[in-house]
Amino acid sequence: MMIQTVFWKNNKVVMIDQKALPLNRRQLVCSDYRQVITAIKDLTVRGAPAIGVAAAMGAALGALSIPSEPVAQFRKKFHAVCNEIEKSRPTARNLFWAIERMKEHLENTILSGKKNLAGELIREAKRICAEDIEINRRIGQHGSALISDGDQILTHCNAGALATAGYGTALGVIRAAREQGKKIHVYVDETRPVLQGARLTAWEMKEEKIPATLICDNMAGFLMQQNKISKIIVGADRIVANGDTANKIGTYSLAVLAKSHGIPFYIAAPISTFDFSLKTGATIPIEERNGAEVTHFKGVQSAPQGVKVYNPAFDITPGKLISAIITERGIITRPYSSAIARLRKGIT
């Protein structure tokens, strides 16, 4: 079954409500771009590529609400919508990439003399969505070459169909390997504090009948010591020019453990996740989320009232700990500075 995470229908943005999974399957239907912003903020839709698609569709919804008026006025109002969407979450590069692409499409549409600006922006948002699925399939094809029969693969957070328009990046590699008949077993980190692994990745693995075992985050090192993990694959929120990679909090610890145990550590991500403008990971904006995510789960308190909390949603894994990065154009390895420069120029 194909999971459609976010799509456009009858001039509305429809998305799977990921907050409700795995217990309830329901959709959120957004008719206003501000609903899309709220959905990005509260994790109804999450995962870098899915956030990008939702942002593009949110911008298209915003465009629909702008009455037809002179081009300069339309542009000003559309940019105001885009600025609001860009404030929803800071770390995933795909959000900013999608908004830049929508703005560029507006300029091209204006230059071409076409009159239905909102209609053209809707078409572009739908294209971004369709391309994302195609890109993930290509990531899967390339990445599956790294997977062997019998592999026991650890993944963190959810980099699956739910984190993209469909198919997934890290889980796309796992899906592709399965489609090729490789026997694999997936270990799923539960991924504190929001449990994207337990709630979403475990759900996707069940849906696809891919053998999987759920573990708490703090068990990963022991499993590596027991030789239960042969490979680690995760997604990314932002990859910078030297290969440093922001991904869900806990990813860095896994990369250090992988190095210590001699286990290959792979990142799977589309080129829209790359931020070629940043030289190192130190300047990636890291989102800090509400402390209630750490002190409570589904409204139930599990820490003393008033305790101080630090809740960064992402961490940065240095490029030197990453064995390879799988993209839709192929697999790149160290030294990342030159490999990523080639990727930017479209040489890889």
Give the shortest CB-242-to-ligand MRU separation in angstroms: 19
Length of the chain: 348
Q: Which is nearer to ligand MRU, 41 or 123 (CB)?
A: 41
Give the shortest CB-251-to-ligand MRU separation in angstroms: 7
* Residue 236 lies near ligand MRU (rule: CB under 6 A): yes
Give the shortest CB-248-to-ligand MRU separation in angstroms: 3
* Residue 121 lies near ligand MRU (rule: CB under 6 A): no
Tokens of 183: 């026997």
**Active-site residue 237, yes or no?**
yes
Q: Within 152-191, which residues bind ligand MRU (CB under 6 A)?
A: 157, 159, 163-164, 169
Marked catalytic residue, from 189, 217, 237, 275: 237
Q: Which is nearer to ligand MRU, 60 or 157 (CB)?
A: 157
* Residue 5 lies near ligand MRU (rule: CB under 6 A): no
Distance CA 103, CA 95 (A): 13
Distance CA 36, CA 191 (A): 25
Residue choice 6, 13, 39, 48 for contact with ligand MRU (CB under 6 A): 48
SS3 label, residue 327: strand
* Residue 46 lies near ligand MRU (rule: CB under 6 A): yes
Q: Which is nearer to ligand MRU, 94 or 109 (CB)?
A: 94
| Residue nearest ligand MRU (C-beta atom) | 235
Residue choice 28, 36, 39, 47 for contact with ligand MRU (CB under 6 A): 47
* Residue 323 lies near ligand MRU (rule: CB under 6 A): no
Residue 233 contacts residue 163 (beta carbons within 8 Å): no
Site string for ligand MRU, 282-321 (x = CB under 6 A): -------------------------------x--------
Give the shortest CB-135-to-ligand MRU separation in angstroms: 11
Angle (deg, nearest 10), helices 93-112 and 117-144: 140
Closest CA to 47 of 220, 199, 232: 199
Quickly list H helices, 235-335: 251-261, 292-295
Residue choice 44, 88, 109, 196 for contact with ligand MRU (CB under 6 A): 196
Q: Which is nearer to ligand MRU, 44 or 109 (CB)?
A: 44
**Bridging pattern class, strands 152-155 and 27-30:** unpaired
Give the shortest CB-234-to-ligand MRU separation in angstroms: 6
Tokens of 88: 């929803």
Q: Which is nearer to ligand MRU, 118 or 157 (CB)?
A: 157
Closest CA to 129 of 53, 52, 49, 62: 53
Count of residues that interact with ligand MRU, criterion CB under 6 A = 18
| Sequential DSSP letters for 50-70 | HHHHHHHHHHHHHHHTSPS--
Residues whose CB falls within 8 Å of the CB of residue 16, separated by 6 or more in sequence, listed in order: 3, 4, 5, 6, 25, 26, 27, 28, 45, 162
Q: How big, in percent rounded to 5, are the helix, strand and coil portions of the chain?
A: 45, 15, 35
Residues that bind ligand MRU (CB under 6 A): 46-49, 92, 157, 159, 163-164, 169, 196, 234-237, 247-248, 313
Catalytic residue positions, numbered? 237
